[in-house]
A and B are shown apart, each in its own frame.
Chain A
Amino acid sequence: MAAGVATWLPFARAAAVGWLPLAQQPLPPAPEVKASRGDEVLVVNVSGRRFETWKNTLDRYPDTLLGSSEKEFFYDAESGEYFFDRDPDMFRHVLNFYRTGRLHCPRQECIQAFDEELAFYGLVPELVGDCCLEEYRDRKKENAERLAEDEEAEQAGEGPALPAGSSLRQRLWRAFENPHTSTAALVFYYVTGFFIAVSVIANVVETIPCRSSARRPTREQPCGDRFPMAFFCMDTACVLIFTGEYLLRLFAAPSRCRFLRSVMSLIDVVAILPYYIGLFVPKNDDVSGAFVTLRVFRVFRIFKFSRHSQGLRILGYTLKSCASELGFLLFSLTMAIIIFATVMFYAEKGTSKTNFTSIPAAFWYTIVTMTTLGYGDMVPSTIAGKIFGSICSLSGVLVIALPVPVIVSNFSRIYHQNQRADKRRAQQKVRLARIRLAKSGTTNAFLQYKQNGGLEDSGSGEGQALCVRSRSAFEQQHHHLLHCLEKTTCHEFTDELTFSEALGAVSLGGRTSRSTSVSSQPMGPGSLLSSCCPRRAKRRAIRLANSTASVSRGSMQELDTLAGLRRSPAPQSRSSLNAKPHDSLDLNCDSPDFVAAIISIPTPPVNTPDESQPSSPGGGGSGGRSNTTLRNSSLGTPCLLPETVKISSL
Chain B
Amino acid sequence: MGAVMGTFSSLQTKQRRPSKDIAWWYYQYQRDKIEDELEMTMVCHRPEGLEQLEAQTNFTKRELQVLYRGFKNECPSGVVNEETFKQIYAQFFPHGDASTYAHYLFNAFDTTQTGSVKFEDFVSALSILLRGTVHEKLRWTFNLYDINKDGYINKEEMMDIVKAIYDMMGKYTYPVLKEDTPRQHVDVFFQKMDKNKDGIVTLDEFLESCQEDDNIMKSLQLFQNVM
Contact = CB atoms under 8 A, between A and B. Distances in A.
A495 B172 contact: yes
Interface stretch (A148-156, A284-292, A397-405): A397-405
Contact of A18 (B1, B141, B188): B141
Interface in A9-67: 9-27, 29-30, 33, 38-39, 54, 56
Contacts of B65: 39
B21 A413 contact: yes
B19 A23 contact: no
Nearest to B84: A8
B135 interface: no
Interface of B: 1, 3-4, 7-8, 11-12, 14-15, 19, 21, 62, 65-66, 69-71, 73-74, 88-89, 91-95, 105, 108, 122, 125-126, 129-130, 137-138, 140-141, 144-145, 161-162, 165-166, 168-178, 180-181, 184-185, 188-189, 193, 206, 210, 215-216, 218-220, 222-223, 225-227
A640 interface: no
A14 B63 CA distance: 15
A124 interface: no
Contacts of B176: 499, 502-503, 506
A480 to B, nearest CB: 9
B219 to A, nearest CB: 4
B92 A12 contact: yes
Contacts of B210: 20-21
A25 B185 CA distance: 12
A17 B172 contact: no
A438 B91 CA distance: 9
A200 interface: no
Interface in A503-532: 503, 506, 523, 525, 528-529
Contact of A523 (B69, B129, B175): B175
Nearest to B220: A20
A21 B226 contact: no
Given A27-B222, A485-B93, A493-B172, 8 more contacts: A14-B129, A14-B223, A17-B141, A26-B219, A412-B15, A489-B165, A502-B175, A528-B175
Interface of A: 1-2, 4-5, 7-27, 29-30, 33, 38-39, 54, 56, 99, 322, 371-373, 400-401, 404-405, 408-409, 412-413, 416, 438-440, 442-443, 477-478, 481-482, 485-486, 488-496, 498-499, 502-503, 506, 523, 525, 528-529, 593-594, 597, 608
A23 B215 contact: yes
Given A1-B91, A12-B92, A18-B144, A409 B11 contact: yes
Nearest to A480: B222
17 contacts: A5-B91, A5-B92, A7-B73, A11-B88, A12-B88, A14-B226, A17-B140, A21-B138, A23-B216, A405-B11, A416-B15, A486-B169, A492-B173, A493-B169, A494-B174, A499-B172, A523-B175
A405 B19 CA distance: 13
Contacts of B216: 20-21, 23
B129 A485 contact: no
A472 B180 CA distance: 38
A15 B172 CA distance: 24
A499 B175 CA distance: 8
Given A11-B122, A26-B215, A26-B219, A494 B19 contact: no
Contacts of A2: 91
A442 B12 CA distance: 49
A495 B174 CA distance: 9
